[in-house]
Structure formats: structure tokens, C-alpha cells
């Protein structure tokens, strides 16, 4: 391995800043929802940048944009490096964009150094990672994980998806045709900002993702009885708010005590009949929890439901649970994690293993090919916000780790 190889931080910064100006909101953030005008403008810029840099530009039926570098022998598989150019509404300029710019800079560096590998390299921008329309749309299409059903009932509404497809010249059939043969893919690597402050707090340069968490959600309904809030004694009530409140507090304690690598959230409680002067008959609790591996995921599921049952019983309430769906945890490839560790050591960067609490395109590649992901520190852990910020030095460190991991995995 050429241990003095480094990418060009100034060139990378120039590209990053050009991209950040597209859809800029004037307060440091960008607004580039998938397949909206600003997102399409960012893609147009990417295509021109790819072509200007002398790469083969590729686009598939799902609108995924790539720079292709044929640095491997004929018939070689392709190592994908990438992320996404779409943002949440009024998001930041690092989430997604950094991973695409870094991937392209890795390819530029490989190309100008004439490096030959056992694989080809492809820097890819996936369509609609954030889920304004579908979520992980481009990566799921590419890996064959997208179903026609999902396109008919997308989380952003079919009408918005159709409008976006029309703007981008895409179609349902085209999106579903983007599936690639799995034997053509050597692996997938992604650099992303951490969406949390663990690296910043521990003053560590690089987070090597060990897994992307599984996510499960339920609606739990605590059911009691409506009563006159003036004439019914406290002792005689079956107050649904008590079960819901006790569960909210106890679930947090449970996770912090017994599942320190997991998280849970109660994003909503909906009361009925919802009147100042009526004891709540029912409270519907929106519960979500995340775990980095199947074993904890299942144990946490059981523990939370048992806890809800116990808290309901304690206050004389009935519990109903309505399962809203789950995404399994996605472990990252051991060999790619080792390659990242090696790269950090060559580059003298501190590193630690981290779980990604947020979803990423890497999930789409689970079971298809080895997947790896690294994080760089995010100031205050802020993300999905105009205030999202990562020091450029950290961005460059991450991109160099990506470069060295690609070198190592491709040799």
C-alpha cells in the first residue's frame, strides 16, 4: 500500500462548496428533497462534475447517478462507494453530500495516481435515501429489495412520488429495472457524518460502524374508563394516563439499565376522550425501539411488551398492542471493518466501533454483498438541521480512510 497517498483536500472542498450552494437556504443549510428542483439541479451538477473529471457517467432506471472507474481487470466486480444528494426538508449540507463528494474524490485520486485494483470502482449517489418519497429508494432498487407494492403506497404518498418521477423522467418499471446482479457487486462503502455526539464527546476521529440498528414500532393502547373528573374519587378511577405515563418512565429505565446499546422513544401519546374534565379512557402510545443485533432486538421487544402489560395491570387497565413493522439489524462486514481499522492505523487516526442508530443505504445491501460504513464527528451531534456541521479536517480524514479502505479491499 502506498502509505503516502492522500486525496486533495482543497479540490474536495471546492466540490463540496459548489454542491452546498445548490438548494442553499441562506442559513448554512440546504433544502433538497428527493427529485425536487434543487435535488435535480444538484444531480445535474454531479453529472457535469463526473464528466469534467474524465469518468464514465452512469445513470440507472432508479435515477442513481455514478462515476465509474474501470481500474480493475476485464470482468471484475465493482466496489461501490457512495451516499446521497437528497436532504430532509431544510436539512444540512453534510448529511449524504459528504459521502458522495468523498467517494468521487477517492476515484479522482485513484485515477490520477493510475492505481490498478482487482475491482472496478464506482462513486454512486442513491435516489431518495431520506425518504421524502419512499426511503432508501435507489439502493433498494439497485439491490432488488424494492417491491411494486412499496411504490404504490410510499410513505410520502403516491402523488408526490409520481410528481417526482415525472420531474426526473423516471417510471415504476424503470425503477424496478435498476436491479443489478449481485455477483457484479464487490461491496459497498459509505462515509457519513455521525448523527449523534459520541465521537465528538470522546474526541475520536473515526467511528467504524459495526451494525445499522434494527427498528421496530408499536402502537400500545392503555385502556381504562372515562369518568367524571370531579365526582369520581381518585381511588375509584381507571385512568389510562397512569399506565401510559408509568410505562414511559419505566421503559426508559429498562433500556438504560438492561439494554445500554439500544434506544427507545415514545414520540406520541394520544388521549381520548381528550377533555379537561373527563378521566382519560384510553391513551395510545407510539413506541419505537432500536437494537444493533437480532438477539437484543428480540429480548428488548419482549421486555418492553411485558413492561407495558405490567404497568397496565398495576393501574387496572387493559393493554392492546398493534405492531407497526420492523427493519432487522444490519451487521457490517468484518473484513470491511478490519480494512477501516487498518486505514485508520496507516493514517494515525483514532477510531472506535459504533452502532448506527439511524438508517442508511447500507441496509439495502445486507445479504447482497459486504457492507461497511464510517462516521466522522458532527458538532453537537446535530443532524437534519441547517446547524449540522463537521470540521473540514474531519471530513478529509474520513475521505482518506475511505480511500485507504478501498485500496486495501481492492488489492
List binders of a second copy among 203-222 (CB under 8 A). 213, 215, 217
The backbone region for 133, taken as left when phi is positive above 0, alpha when psi lies in -120 to 50, beta otherwise, is: alpha
Q: Any contact of residue 145 with a second copy (CB under 8 A)?
A: no
Q: Any contact of residue 238 with a second copy (CB under 8 A)?
A: no
Of the candidate residues 62, 269, 317, 346, the single one contacting a second copy (CB under 8 A): 269
Of the candidate residues 1, 14, 70, 256, the single one contacting a second copy (CB under 8 A): 256
Q: Which is nearer to a second copy, 61 or 224 (CB)?
A: 224
CB of 185 to a second copy, least distance (A): 26
Tally of CA atoms within 13 A in the half-sphere of 275 that contains its CB: 10
List binders of a second copy among 295-334 (CB under 8 A). 324
CB of 394 to a second copy, least distance (A): 17
List binders of a second copy among 350-369 (CB under 8 A). 356-359
Of the candidate residues 142, 146, 204, 246, the single one contacting a second copy (CB under 8 A): 246
Please choose, from the candidates 369, 340, 376, the residue with its C-alpha nearest in 3D space to the C-alpha of residue 101.
376
Centre a 10 Å sphere on the Cβ of residue 220 and count the other Cβ atoms it contains. 25
Please choose, from the candidates 334, 310, 328, 309, the residue with its C-alpha nearest in 3D space to the C-alpha of residue 319.
309
Question: How far is residue 394's CA from residue 402's CA, in Å, rounded to a whole number?
Answer: 12
CB of 221 to a second copy, least distance (A): 15
Q: Which is nearer to a second copy, 288 or 318 (CB)?
A: 288
Q: Any contact of residue 236 with a second copy (CB under 8 A)?
A: yes
CB of 249 to a second copy, least distance (A): 5
Q: Look at residue 375 and give its three-state secondary structure.
A: strand
Residue 68, phi then psi, degrees to nearest 5: -115, 130
Q: Any contact of residue 286 with a second copy (CB under 8 A)?
A: yes
Residue 215, phi then psi, degrees to nearest 5: -125, 130
Window of 42-50, 164-172, 250-258, 397-405 that interacts with a second copy by CB under 8 A = 250-258
Q: Which is nearer to a second copy, 172 or 288 (CB)?
A: 288
Q: Which is nearer to a second copy, 16 or 222 (CB)?
A: 222
Residue 79, phi then psi, degrees to nearest 5: -90, 120
Question: How far is residue 176's CA from residue 100's CA, in Å, rounded to a whole number?
Answer: 23
Q: Are 343 and 401 in contact (CB under 8 A)?
A: yes
Of the candidate residues 25, 90, 232, 328, the single one contacting a second copy (CB under 8 A): 232
Residues 6+ apart with CB under 8 A from 350: 203, 204, 205, 206, 344
Q: Any contact of residue 275 with a second copy (CB under 8 A)?
A: yes
Residues 6+ apart with CB under 8 A from 166: none
- For a second copy, the binding residues (CB under 8 A) are 194-198, 213, 215, 217, 228-236, 239, 241-242, 244-246, 248-249, 252, 255-256, 263-269, 271, 274-280, 283, 286, 288, 290, 324, 356-359, 381, 383-384
Amino acid at each position: 500500500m502506498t502509505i503516502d497517498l492522500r486525496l486533495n483536500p482543497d479540490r474536495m472542498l471546492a466540490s463540496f462548496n459548489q454542491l452546498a450552494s445548490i438548494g442553499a437556504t441562506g442559513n448554512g443549510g440546504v433544502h433538497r428533497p428527493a427529485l425536487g428542483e434543487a435535488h435535480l439541479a444538484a444531480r445535474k451538477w454531479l453529472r457535469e462534475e463526473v464528466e469534467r473529471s474524465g469518468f464514465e457517467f452512469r445513470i440507472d432506471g432508479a435515477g442513481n447517478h455514478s462515476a465509474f472507474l474501470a481500474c480493475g481487470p476485464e470482468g471484475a466486480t465493482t466496489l461501490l462507494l457512495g451516499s446521497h444528494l437528497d436532504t430532509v426538508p431544510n436539512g444540512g449540507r453534510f448529511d449524504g453530500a459528504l459521502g458522495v463528494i468523498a467517494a468521487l474524490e477517492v476515484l479522482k485520486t485513484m485515477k490520477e495516481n493510475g492505481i490498478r485494483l482487482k475491482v472496478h470502482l464506482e462513486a454512486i449517489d442513491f435516489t431518495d435515501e431520506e425518504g421524502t418519497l419512499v426511503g432508501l429508494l435507489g439502493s433498494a432498487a439497485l439491490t432488488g429489495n424494492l417491491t411494486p407494492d412499496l411504490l404504490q403506497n410510499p410513505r410520502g404518498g403516491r402523488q408526490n412520488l409520481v410528481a417526482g418521477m415525472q420531474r426526473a423522467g423516471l417510471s415504476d418499471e424503470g425503477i424496478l429495472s435498476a436491479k443489478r446482479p449481485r455477483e457484479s457487486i464487490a461491496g459497498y462503502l459509505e462515509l457519513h457524518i455521525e448523527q449523534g455526539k459520541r465521537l465528538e464527546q470522546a474526541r475520536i476521529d473515526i467511528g467504524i460502524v459495526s451494525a445499522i440498528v434494527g427498528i421496530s414500532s408499536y402502537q400500545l393502547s392503555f385502556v381504562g374508563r372515562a369518568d367524571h373528573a370531579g365526582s369520581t374519587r381518585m381511588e375509584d378511577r381507571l385512568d389510562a394516563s397512569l399506565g401510559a405515563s408509568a410505562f414511559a418512565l419505566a421503559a426508559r429505565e429498562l433500556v438504560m439499565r438492561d439494554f445500554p446499546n439500544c434506544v427507545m422513544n415514545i414520540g406520541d401519546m394520544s388521549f381520548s376522550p381528550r377533555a379537561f374534565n373527563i378521566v382519560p379512557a384510553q391513551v395510545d402510545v407510539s413506541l419505537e425501539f432500536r437494537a444493533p443485533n437480532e438477539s437484543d432486538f428480540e429480548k428488548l421487544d419482549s421486555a418492553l411488551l411485558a413492561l407495558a402489560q405490567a404497568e397496565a395491570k398495576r393501574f387496572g387497565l387493559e393493554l392492546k398492542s398493534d405492531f407497526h413493522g420492523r427493519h432487522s439489524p444490519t451487521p457490517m462486514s468484518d473484513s470491511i471493518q478490519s480494512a477501516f481499522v487498518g486505514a485508520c492505523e496507516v493514517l494515525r487516526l483514532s477510531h472506535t466501533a459504533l452502532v448506527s442508530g439511524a438508517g442508511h443505504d447500507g441496509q439495502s445491501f445486507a445479504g447482497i454483498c459486504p457492507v461497511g460504513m464510517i462516521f466522522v464527528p458532527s458538532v453537537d451531534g446535530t443532524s437534519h438541521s441547517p446547524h449540522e456541521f463537521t470540521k473540514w479536517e474531519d471530513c478529509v480524514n474520513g475521505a482518506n480512510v475511505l480511500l485507504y479502505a478501498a485500496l486495501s479491499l481492492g488489492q
